Amino acid sequence: MKRLFTSIILLCALPYIGVAQHGKHHLMSEWRDGDYIVRRYIVEDDSLHKAKYELHYAINSATTAPEYEHNDLELERLDRFFAELKNDTLRHVSEITIAGYASPDGTTPFNAELARERAEKLSDMLSERYALKGYNVTVTSYVEPWSATTKPIEESSLKNRSDIVNIVNANEAPMTVDRRLKREGEAWSYLTTDVLPEMRRAVVTIAYTEDHTMDNREYCPERREVVVVEEVVEHNKHDKGHKHDRGHKQDKGHKRHKVVEEWDGIIVDFGE
């Protein structure tokens, strides 16, 4: 005769699954992997990252032409950034700055207006292209000073580069510097070909933070179901014709306990 007793041994209680916060750690999901509980957290990161994109313009133009210089490549990079941003919940844009620039040659009022137009037209184009309405967008503009040409002049092969450096750094009105440089044939040719075109540009700077995920694995074996079997074992009786001695009591047998369980458990046998 057997009697079964079933008990549940819970070796690890599962915690409540929800949106819990631990400082800058936010529980995102939780799952079991064998004998482990895996919890994935979002870890906030306040480090500021900046992505920069530079577009160039023809002289006296405020039109952002994709085919001009390497504008097509920069626009492709911008496309990738905003495409990734749509699917990346860990990246957070804090500010977008669009700055238009003009080279120093020519009159200052005209250059200032040209730089402003470059920035504003680019802002309009990007707003339509990437739907920037919900972002913090700053539009600004600058006219490069003649002193900004110092480094490229110093690194050039111009024979009189030290004289040209003195001219661009002189404390004179921009138009005066412009007229003096135009009298320097070789230097002026170098500036108009290799230096000033690089200053006719607009720069898009995107400031953003980027959180990351972290997995925490905790050893936590699964619960097991244990079945305890109590078995009563009766010994064989004597032959019917055999007479028992007077006073001899019949052996009613004895109990034997064994612990059995499901396939994934541990078998424990206490014996007889």
Q: Residue 205 pLDDT > 60, yes or no?
A: yes
User: At 268, is the pLDDT very low, low, confident or very high (cuts 50, 70, 90)?
Assistant: very low
Q: Which part of the chain is CATH 3.30.1330.60? A: 49-210
State the average pLDDT over residues 97-117.
97
Q: Residue 16 pLDDT > 90, yes or no?
A: no
Angle at 45 (CA atoms; ends 41, 49), nearest 5 degrees: 140
User: At 166, is the pLDDT very low, low, confident or very high (cuts 50, 70, 90)?
Assistant: very high
Residue percentage of the chain with pLDDT more than 70: 73
Residue 225 near residue 260, CB atoms below 8 Å:
no
SS3 sequence, the chain? CEEEEEEEECCCCCCCCCCCEECCEEEEEEEEECCEEEEEEEECCCCCEEEEEEEECCCCCCCCCCCCCCHHHHHHHHHHHHHHHHHCCCEEEEEEEEEEEECCCCCHHHHHHHHHHHHHHHHHHHHHHHCHHHCCEEEEEEECCHHHHHHHHHCCCCCCHHHHHHHHCCCCCHHHHHHHHHCCHHHHHHHHHHHHHHHCEEEEEEEEEECEEEEEEEECCCCEEEEEEEEEECCCCCCCCCCCCCCCCCCCCEEEEEEEECCCCCCECCCC
CA 237 – CA 250 distance, rounded (Å): 8
**Res 227: pLDDT:** 57
**Res 220: pLDDT:** 87
User: At 41, is the pLDDT very low, low, confident or very high (cuts 50, 70, 90)?
Assistant: confident
Residue percentage of the chain with pLDDT more than 90: 56
**Res 53: pLDDT:** 98
**Res 64: pLDDT:** 96
pLDDT tens digits along 209-241: 988 888 888 888 876 655 555 555 555 555 555
State the average pLDDT over residues 194-222.
91
Amino acid at 255: K
Q: What mean pLDDT value characterizes the chain?
A: 82
Choose the weakest-confidence range: 43-47, 112-116, 204-208: 43-47
CA 30 – CA 105 distance, rounded (Å): 62
State the average pLDDT over residues 102-127.
97
State the average pLDDT over residues 93-110.
97
Which tokens in the block code for residue 16?
């409540």
State the average pLDDT over residues 102-121.
97
CATH 3.20.20.70 is right for the domain spanning 49-210: no
Residue 255 CB contacts under 8 Å (≥ 6 apart), including other chains: 230, 231, 232, 233
Residue 43 near residue 36, CB atoms below 8 Å:
no
